[in-house]
Chains A and B, each alone.
Chain A
Amino acid sequence: MATAHPEFSDLVAPHLTALFRSAYRLTGNRSDAEDVVQEVCVRAYTHLATLRTLDQPKSWLLKIAYRVFVDGLRRRTRSPVRATAEDFDSTRSSDEPSPEERAEAELAERRLLGALAKLDREQRALLALHVEGYTLAELEAMTDLSADVLKARLYRARVRLGKLLAADGKTSTLALVK
């Protein structure tokens, strides 16, 4: 059933992994990440003519993803086909970490996602895309902000996140001692 428009899917498919990765970093969970990707596709589809002419469709798509996230993800009518467990779990890597390592990593991950959720959306989005590996120059194109502004905002976002993480570490230990 994967035929909205054959050309459209050809244009978008090569960038889908990058889109999903960034969307996951933006939202911190898979179902919201999927919603972001779907929303990006919905918007991109309405601008198929533009999409055709682009040299760099990926940064254009990411720019949409950035806007979708920063403006607040609106839940549209979803695709009636929903993700199932197999979609995610079939590709789990073979070198499984030990239960302790996994528990440790999961705890750290939860803390990080919790702290990220406390940042404002723009800060979170900038960090997400930057950590995903996009350069300041690429971010300039996505956000329409200058490199200097980006650098300063990224730094402030990191400081805030680091302090939230430190505070979280403290309170969770303290709360347990109490």
Chain B
Amino acid sequence: MSCNDVASILGNHRTTRLTPAERAQVDEHLLACSDCAAAWRAQDDLLALRVPPMPAALLERALLASRLPQSAPARRARIFLVAGSVVLAGVAAAAVTMSVLREQSSPITSSPAVKETAAPVASDTTPAVTQDDARTAPAGDGVTAVELVETGHGDVIPLVRANPEYPPQALTKRLEGRVQLKFDVTTAGTVENVSVVNSSDPVFEESAAAALAQWRYLPRILAGKRVRHEGVHTIIQFQLAGYKEETRNPSQQAAVEKAMREYREYSDGLEVALDRLAADDFRGVELQLDEMQALFGTERPDLWNFYGYLYTLEGNYSRAIDAYEQAVTVSLRAPFPTSGPIVPLAKLYFARHQYDMALKTVLRPGLPTNGAVAPGGNRRLSDEATALVEQLRALGVTEETL
């Protein structure tokens, strides 16, 4: 038995019937040859793939499509923005860096499945705001005009962010600053009741609040339902990066504009998905996410997070876990990892009584605030993650028992 014979058998799947003796020869060869073993395994897996039934109205749709005017251009652009850090440009007249320092809410257990087991955690801790959390993105070599930097510190991470305008008065004075805001996330994921908690200078407040009002989040899930999430905090920081407008050459300008355009397309796509989610059109959300992955690739933690969120809502926890695991994996490869999927993933494991996995997930190294030992020797965990660790400790699952 040779590799060529195995290739022939695999190639003639419909006509080749193996005798027991031949099958034994195949097995012997597979043990010795890793290539053929891999090929054989692939064939088994491929045959196991189920094909869903054909959608009922496919013919009607296909026939309709064959009569439509055909003019849409191909849209296969990839965004080269990095996860967790969204490089925006071209709005302000000078370079600014705007950081979202920290977003979090009071710790309330929010996974639908955790509710039976989780001890109520209601200590309403005011979100601590620490300036040193900001991983300010590099100013770039003259391309960056405005940057949003997600610290990944909180458990509430915006999917769609509008770009705040750098207040012209602040620009002329070359003034930097920050604004802490409080707001509610509705069941549709939109932002309401924006109020300023404090700011370094009132000049920034209006612009920060106006931008925030346009952001979109994944709504919080409580006991399997989407609920309004009140009292979420965030900080928007305005920084000048010392960049001069006139140094931008045409090719840089073009690159910036392209990135802007692609970011807008990406945001628009997410908004469509969020709107369908608000309309309970789960199937529509999934189709939209599938399409976005086809357009923007599979390296976007946001999209995997969204899948995880959707499957959690649908009660399909194994798929949800898989999607969140993908989000973590993809995020770890990104230049700016996000801890976004960590808490939901840990809660899913918790709900399935996989306590070790839950703790490992929370303490996973490589993600901001998750297992990374901060200066001073303390682990930095978000409040929700800390609450989960406490629940696990109560069950006797600690780092030492892992």
Contacts and interface: CB of A to CB of B under 8 A. Distances in A.
A41 to B, nearest CB: 4
Interface string B39-72: 1111101111111111111111111111111111
A32 B294 CA distance: 8
Interface in B293-335: 294, 298, 316-319, 322, 325, 329
Contacts of B215: none
Contacts of A88: 52-53, 55, 283
B75 A37 contact: no
A144 B157 CA distance: 50
A25 B51 contact: yes
Given A87-B55, A87-B57, A166 B294 contact: no
Nearest to B294: A32
A162 B61 contact: no
B365 interface: yes
A56 B36 CA distance: 35
Given A8-B63, A76-B65, A103 B318 contact: yes
Contact of A79 (B14, B46, B61, B318): B61
Interface string B328-353: 01000000000000000000000000
B51 A4 contact: no
- Chain B interface size band reads 35 or more
A135 B49 contact: no
A28 B351 CA distance: 30
Given A13-B59, A16-B59, A84 B283 contact: yes
A11 B42 CA distance: 35
A109 B50 contact: yes
Contacts of A41: 62-63, 65-66
A155 B11 contact: yes
Main secondary structure of the interface of B (DSSP, over half): helix
Nearest to A38: B65
B51 A21 contact: yes
B318 A158 contact: no
The winner among B12, B49, B72, B74 for most chain A CB atoms within 10 A is B49
A121 interface: no
A83 B50 CA distance: 19
Contacts of B283: 83-85, 88
Contacts of B55: 20, 30, 34, 83, 87-88
A31 B63 contact: no
Contacts of A34: 55, 58, 61
Contacts of A32: 290-291, 294
Contact of B46 (A13, A44, A103, A131): A131
23 contacts: A2-B59, A9-B63, A24-B52, A32-B290, A32-B291, A32-B294, A38-B65, A40-B62, A42-B70, A76-B72, A87-B58, A91-B53, A114-B298, A158-B43, A159-B38, A160-B38, A161-B38, A161-B42, A161-B46, A162-B39, A165-B38, A172-B325, A175-B325
Interface of A: 1-4, 8-9, 12-13, 16-17, 20-21, 24-25, 29-32, 34, 37-42, 44-45, 72-88, 90-91, 102-110, 112-114, 117, 127, 130-131, 133, 135-136, 150-152, 154-155, 157-163, 165-166, 172, 175-176, 178
Given A37-B62, A88-B283, 8 more contacts: A1-B60, A24-B52, A77-B65, A79-B64, A136-B11, A158-B40, A162-B38, A165-B41
